[in-house]
């Protein structure tokens, strides 16, 4: 029997609650489709940092490198200064494991209550391919004369030809494999960021020559946010840099019904990938059994798909859709009409 070794990092806040439900569904899928998941738990996050000062021990990183994938809940703690846990754990994992793609599907499932509820998967079904190891996220820069009237703060966007090109090439490949509209949109800001996006644009159209069957399009990032709301049906796959990808996928989460359904994969197509709900640790909902575990369940679905268990992944998605249509009033925490555990139970039941 096939066995996958998965590192579970429930993390902070509501992370453990949603990962628990996700594992319930994944284990049910494993039983049904005849494979095994061997879980190893890692207690990384704010609590551990506050107790021991540790963020991501090298030993944990070394073990992650030998796993088939990582299943992450949330990282972030109101008691820790912003940036420490994010940089020390989440971003360090993305960088060290060279997870250069952040794949974020934006799909409005039927029956989801949201400002776009008149629409459905025919209108809102696209995927953002976000570059995940460069741009403004590398921490390049610093202060001069910090705290004085002459203070200077510099934060540099790093764009390497190699990093940009591998991301763009992944997006073209993904668009081909997805086989829907066969249209890839580069989202940038060529009218202002005339160095960074000049490189992106050149790489984009050069790689495009290898994919004659894929239509190319370009949109500035500000216009992209407008089109996402006005005419989301025009998009198929969007490729963009790290910062823009971060911003437009929170907007994307709202198109699909909220952070409660938005999932993503941090992919190293040649290495170890990590799957997570894209929302944060939601401290105000922690421990109350009100948070929506769908995003974590869908992150688990993406993980199985990535591991090659496409049938199991499809069945999880179908079980999620059934649960949303039959049982959930809304995707927001506290308004679902069911508790976190019950949502997990329903999805597992609909699957089994």
**Binding-site size, ligand IPM (CB under 6 A):** 5
| Other beta carbons less than 10 A from residue 134's beta carbon | 22
Q: How far is the CB of 279 from Mn ion (least distance, A)?
A: 9
Question: Closest Cα to residue 232, out of 111, 112, 115, 103?
Answer: 115
| Other beta carbons less than 10 A from residue 326's beta carbon | 10
Residue 160 DSSP SS3: coil
| Cα 243 to Cα 218: distance, rounded to the nearest angstrom | 17
| Cα 108 to Cα 154: distance, rounded to the nearest angstrom | 39
Residue 337 is encoded by which pair of tokens?
């009409």
User: Rule CB under 6 A: is residue 131 a binding residue for ligand IPM?
Assistant: no
- Could you say which of Mn ion, ligand IPM, none residue 90 binds, taking C-beta under 5 to 8 angstroms by partner kind? ligand IPM
| Residue 227, CB-side half-sphere exposure with 13 Å CA sphere | 16
- Which of the ranges 85-93, 113-121, 204-212, 313-321 carries the binding residues for ligand IPM, by CB under 6 A? 85-93
The continuous run of DSSP H or E covering 49 comes out as helix 46-52
Q: How far is the CB of 247 from Mn ion (least distance, A)?
A: 8
| Cα 1 to Cα 296: distance, rounded to the nearest angstrom | 25
Q: How far is the CB of 294 from ligand IPM (least distance, A)?
A: 17
Residue 186 is encoded by which pair of tokens?
């580069």
- Could you say which of Mn ion, ligand IPM, none residue 317 binds, taking C-beta under 5 to 8 angstroms by partner kind? none
Report whether 63 contacts 40 (CB < 8 A).
yes
- 19 vs 75, which CB is nearer to Mn ion? 75
Q: Which of 27, 86, 173, 342 binds ligand IPM (CB under 6 A)?
A: 86
- Could you say which of ligand IPM, Mn ion, none residue 221 binds, taking C-beta under 5 to 8 angstroms by partner kind? none
Q: How far is the CB of 39 from ligand IPM (least distance, A)?
A: 23
User: Rule CB under 6 A: is residue 278 a binding residue for ligand IPM?
Assistant: yes
Residue 252 is encoded by which pair of tokens?
């994307």
Report whether 252 contacts 91 (CB < 8 A).
no
Report whether 1 contacts 34 (CB < 8 A).
yes
User: Rule CB under 6 A: is residue 171 a binding residue for ligand IPM?
Assistant: no
Which residues of the shown chain bind Mn ion in the complex (CB under 5 A)?
A: 246
- Which of the ranges 40-48, 64-72, 86-94, 290-298 carries the binding residues for ligand IPM, by CB under 6 A? 86-94
User: Rule CB under 6 A: is residue 103 a binding residue for ligand IPM?
Assistant: no
User: Rule CB under 6 A: is residue 90 a binding residue for ligand IPM?
Assistant: yes
Listed in sequence order, the residues at least 6 apart from 53 whose beta carbon sits closer than 8 Å to its beta carbon are none
Site string for ligand IPM, 30-69 (x = CB under 6 A): ----------------------------------------
Residue 269 is encoded by which pair of tokens?
């197509």
User: Rule CB under 6 A: is residue 241 a binding residue for ligand IPM?
Assistant: no
User: Rule CB under 6 A: is residue 96 a binding residue for ligand IPM?
Assistant: no
Q: How far is the CB of 200 from Mn ion (least distance, A)?
A: 20
> Which residue's C-beta sits nearest to Mn ion?
246
| Cα 101 to Cα 264: distance, rounded to the nearest angstrom | 10
Q: Is the dihedral of CA 330, 335, 337, 341 positive or negative?
A: positive
Q: How far is the CB of 15 from ligand IPM (least distance, A)?
A: 12
- Which of the ranges 83-91, 200-208, 227-235, 316-324 carries the binding residues for ligand IPM, by CB under 6 A? 83-91
Report whether 36 contacts 5 (CB < 8 A).
no
- Could you say which of ligand IPM, Mn ion, none residue 348 binds, taking C-beta under 5 to 8 angstroms by partner kind? none
Q: How far is the CB of 110 from ligand IPM (least distance, A)?
A: 26
- 241 vs 246, which CB is nearer to Mn ion? 246
Binding site for ligand IPM (CB under 6 A): 86, 90-91, 246, 278
């Amino acid at each position: 029997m096939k066995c996958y070794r998965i590192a579970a990092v429930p993390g902070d806040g509501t992370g453990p609650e949603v990962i628990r439900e996700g594992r319930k569904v994944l284990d049910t899928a494993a039983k049904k489709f005849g494979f095994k998941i061997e879980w190893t738990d890692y207690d990384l996050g704010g609590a551990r940092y506050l107790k021991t000062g540790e963020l991501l021990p090298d030993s944990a990183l070394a073990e992650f490198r030998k796993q088939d994938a990582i299943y992450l809940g949330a990282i972030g703690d109101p008691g820790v200064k912003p940036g420490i846990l994010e940089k020390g754990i989440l971003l360090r994992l993305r960088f060290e494991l060279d997870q250069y793609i952040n794949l974020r599907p934006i799909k409005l499932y039927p029956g989801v209550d949201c400002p776009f509820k008149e629409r459905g998967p025919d209108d809102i079904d696209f995927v953002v391919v976000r570059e995940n190891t460069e741009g403004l996220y590398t921490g390049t820069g610093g202060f001069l004369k910090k705290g004085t009237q002459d203070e200077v703060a510099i934060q540099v966007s790093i764009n390497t030809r190699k990093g940009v090109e591998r991301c763009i090439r992944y997006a073209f490949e993904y668009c081909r494999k997805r086989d829907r509209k066969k249209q890839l949109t580069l989202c940038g800001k060529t009218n202002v960021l005339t160095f960074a996006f000049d490189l992106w644009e050149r790489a984009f159209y050069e790689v495009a020559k290898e994919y004659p069957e894929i239509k190319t399009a370009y949109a500035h990032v500000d216009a992209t946010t407008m089109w996402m709301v006005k005419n989301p049906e025009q998009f198929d796959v969007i490729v963009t840099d790290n910062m823009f990808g971060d911003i437009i996928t929170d907007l994307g989460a709202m198109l699909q019904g909220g952070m409660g359904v938005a999932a993503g994969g941090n992919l190293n197509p040649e290495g170890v990938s990590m799957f997570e709900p894209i929302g944060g640790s939601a401290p105000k909902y922690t421990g109350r059994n009100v948070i929506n575990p769908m995003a974590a369940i869908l992150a688990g679905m993406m993980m199985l798909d990535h591991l090659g268990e496409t049938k199991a992944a499809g069945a999880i998605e179908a079980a999620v859709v059934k649960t949303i249509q039959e049982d959930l009033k809304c995707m927001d925490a506290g308004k679902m009409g069911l508790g976190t555990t019950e949502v997990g139970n329903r999805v597992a039941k609909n699957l089994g």
